[in-house]
Chain A
């Protein structure tokens, strides 16, 4: 029999430091091993749990890897047509002004087919939270090139790397919406290390708190990995993300309290 290193004597409720929040269901997440989606889901769920707004929150699921988000959150969810989550969230928030409304979108959804809806919702200053997961690739459909794909980054539809002369330049949605008057808070975070996860959670918490102020859109981008699409192991994908994604998509607050951060 092998040694287990268990310490059953300290496994008591008063010693509990961390366990999965009850706002997430017990369903096994449909994401690949090591995908940042799972961490981002958990952060949103923990914020909802800590604020005690489980019964007052309505989420909008996108099309993409996270299309099944309604199976994982134990809150009211709707699933929008491709890219139309901000439009649907607008309607929900206007019909139920007292509810907390958030959209959870990937880059293929928010930055490609949903560009118009996103920009107009941000420009109107709808009082919603937009969580934007950016991994620079269309993960669900097989790793095709997305508008956010980095220059030179190989994907299944740009196997020799993205050539910006032919395929155009990557789109920094977060910087674009930060210039619009309707956004109140715009930030870019990551979830690859414990420190980054804790920081991202604070940003998501602040975004949900901002909904009480009725000041406009709170936009949280989370730069994430796509180890299946990038054809790397999860740990290697995180390293690749630090070395290649972060220089282009720089982490940090871009707009706080309605003012651009210098």
Chain B
């Protein structure tokens, strides 16, 4: 059976650290960084490799900073 894998790219300079993506992710891929970006926000980061490319995070992101890829492997 084909397995689906995904990947997200987060524009950390535009991320405002609102954590809305964090609660929307069904795979708990997204966490918040300890570092801050140039605006002083703790930006979103990936904390595991379980992403399936469902794009829920990108759909709710108010600032549109997430790009989503999905592929069958």
Give A residues with C-beta under 8 Å from B: 4-8, 10-12, 15-21, 24, 28-29, 31-39, 42, 191-194, 197-198, 227, 233-235, 238
Which residues on the B side are within 8 Å of A42 (C-beta)?
62, 64
Separation in Å of the B35 CB from the closest CB of chain A? Answer: 10
Q: Number of B residues whose C-beta is below 8 Å from A?
A: 38
User: Min CB distance, A74 to chain B, in Å?
Assistant: 13
Knowing A5-B47, A10-B7, A234-B18 are in contact, say whether A38-B59 is a contact too (CB < 8 A): no
- B18 and A33 contacting across the interface, CB-CB below 8 Å: yes
**Contact bitstring B45-73, A, C-beta under 8 A = 1, else 0:** 01111010101101111111111111101
Contact partners of B70 in chain A: CB under 8 A: 10, 15, 17
> A5 and B49: CB pair below 8 A?
yes
Q: Would you call A18 and B68 a contact (CB within 8 A)?
A: yes
Asked if A18 and B9 sit within 8 Å, CB to CB, the answer is no
In the complex, A233→B53 CA distance in Å? 27
| Most chain A CB within a 10 A radius of its CB, from B23, B60, B67 | B60
A68–B16 Cα distance when bound, in Å, is 18
Partner of A194, one of B16, B56, B62: B56
CA distance A194 to B20 in the complex (A): 10
